[in-house]
Amino acid sequence: MIIASKKRKENIAEYILYMWQIEDLIRANNCDIELLKKNIINKFQLSDAQQKEMQEWYESLIDMMRREGITQKGHLQINKNILNQLVQLHQALLADPSFPEYTAEFYKTLPFIVELRTKAGENKTGEIETCFTALYGMLMMRLQQKNMTHETQEAIQQISRFISILSKNFHLDEEDKLFQKKED
């Protein structure tokens, strides 16, 4: 909750990856608040008020996951909404000729996206979600201390660069500073 709100303000890409990890942590603890308290919440050095706030945050996420039927897999609608905002911004940036650097970075990334979709046998997932799925997969591989091939590392580096640019543009857009030049 504390980390999530900080990441939401500073880096939307890290926020999405963090929230996907939180969803998996909740699942790993069987959507049970007592297990989450024991395995996660109590590990933080928090005041009673902060601990209560964190517990309520996890309880609300558990409730949403149950209501949305994603206790086994999938992502919360609140996380999908942010991903959709990123997709809309991505499309706006590609359509706007005043962002050639963004477009060039996307087209450098596109072959990796296509390859990932082909390997996964998944063509319904959009480009941005495919990028996040790849980044999340890399994060999980690192946590499990698994090695990546050189090709995978190269793909992840390019995807990371691209998503970093999209993330920066997202925050500029939230501050109404992204499309400012065009309107002046």
> What's the pLDDT tens digit per position in 114-128?
998 888 776 678 999
- What count of other Cβ atoms lies within 10 Å of the Cβ of residue 129? 19
Q: What is the pTM of this model?
A: 0.91
130-162: per-residue pLDDT in tens? Answer: 999 999 999 999 989 999 889 989 999 999 999
Which pLDDT score, from 0 to 100, does residue 184 have? 44
Q: Which of 28-32, 137-141, 178-182 is predicted most confidently?
A: 28-32
Which pLDDT score, from 0 to 100, does residue 181 have? 54
CB 68 within 8 A of CB 77: yes
61-101: per-residue pLDDT in tens? Answer: 999 999 999 999 999 999 999 999 999 999 999 999 999 99
Contacts of 110 (CB under 8 A, 6+ apart): 127
CA distance 138 to 13: 14
Helices then strands, counting H and E runs in the chain, come out as 9, 0
Residue 177 has pLDDT above 80, yes or no: yes
Please report, in angstroms and rounded to a whole number, the separation of the first and last CA atoms in the chain. Answer: 39
Which pLDDT score, from 0 to 100, does residue 49 have? 94
DSSP-assigned letter for residue 42: G
Which pLDDT score, from 0 to 100, does residue 81 have? 97
In this prediction, residues 44-48 reach a mean pLDDT of 91
Percent of the chain with pLDDT over 70: 96
183 confidence band (pLDDT: 50, 70, 90): very low
